[in-house]
Structure 1
Amino acid sequence: MSNMAPHGFKQDMPPPGGYAAIRFQRNLPTRGFSGVVVFGTVLTVCGLGFYRLGQGNNEKRELKREVAWSRIHLVPLLLAERDRDEYRRSEAALAREKEIMKDVHGWEAGKSVYSTKRYTPSNVVVL
């Protein structure tokens, strides 16, 4: 014990100039975009989506209008085609009736079976 201090201990002292400062602050990196950027992006995407939705609705409305007008313009053609088909079928039915009933005395082919002078279209469609 001869090389010890007179009191028996050696005190540990700080280095000359002191210790370095202790970093106690949280140093977290930024994670992603700021709230303003995210909110602006969401608003932009929603705005563009609603714009495209409106454009699609206008396009659908215009297509519906086009279909309606094409049907309106086709109605006379379809009615004329139906009238021609009905006339052709009635002439064929009259010819068949004349052929079938040619031997029956007093039979008038094509005479209406109704007791009226008004036109009554046939209700039975033969396909």
Structure 2
Amino acid sequence: MPQDMPPTGGYEPVQYRRNLPVRGFRPAYYLVALGAVMTYGFWRFGQGIREKNELAREKMWSRIYLTPLLQAEEDRDLVRRTLAAGKMERELMGGETKVYNSDRFVRPTYAVTPANVTK
């Protein structure tokens, strides 16, 4: 019986690797895109920090500029309350009765208490 021999020129090479089409970009392109996105993000983050600091500075200076005005309003309210309290005191106590031992002005302090306190 004759033995089978390979064809003349040999067999075709055996394909042992999968022949899959390349999908997507090269990894280097992904790294470049990721770096660009992160750089943009850090830049915007830095801008946000700068904006926040600028707003805080503006808020601080506006409070500094408004403090004398608010203090003047508080002083006007204090004078009005003191004069009203003196008038009420004169009505209740009579004209010449002195309530205090000194004529020195003492800035009054007010304690706000809830109206529905039960004892």
CA RMSD of aligned residues (A): 2.7
Instruction: Identify which of 53, 62, 65 aligns with 2:54.
Output: 62
Q: Which amino acid aligns with 1:123?
A: T
Describe the superposition over 1:36-80 as per-residue Cα deviations: whole angstroms up to 9, x where unpaired: 111111111111110000000000000000001100110110010
Instruction: Identify which of 71, 76, 89 aligns with 1:84.
Output: 76
Q: Give the gaps of 5 or more residues in structure 1.
A: 1-8
Identity of aligned residues (%): 44
Aligned length: 113
Instruction: Identify which of 103, 106, 110 aligns with 1:120.
Output: 106
Could you say if the C-alpha distance between residues 114 and 54 of structure 1 is closer, same or farther in structure 2, counting changes exceeding 3 Å? farther
Which moved further from structure 2: 34-43 or 54-63?
A: 34-43
Displacement of 1:34: 1.6
Whole-Å Cα distance in 2 between the matches of residues 121 and 92 of structure 1?
15
TM-score for the superposition, normalised by structure 1? 0.71
Q: Give the gaps of 5 or more residues in structure 2.
A: 114-119
Query: Are 1:52 and 2:44 an aligned pair?
Result: yes
**Larger Rg belongs to:** 1
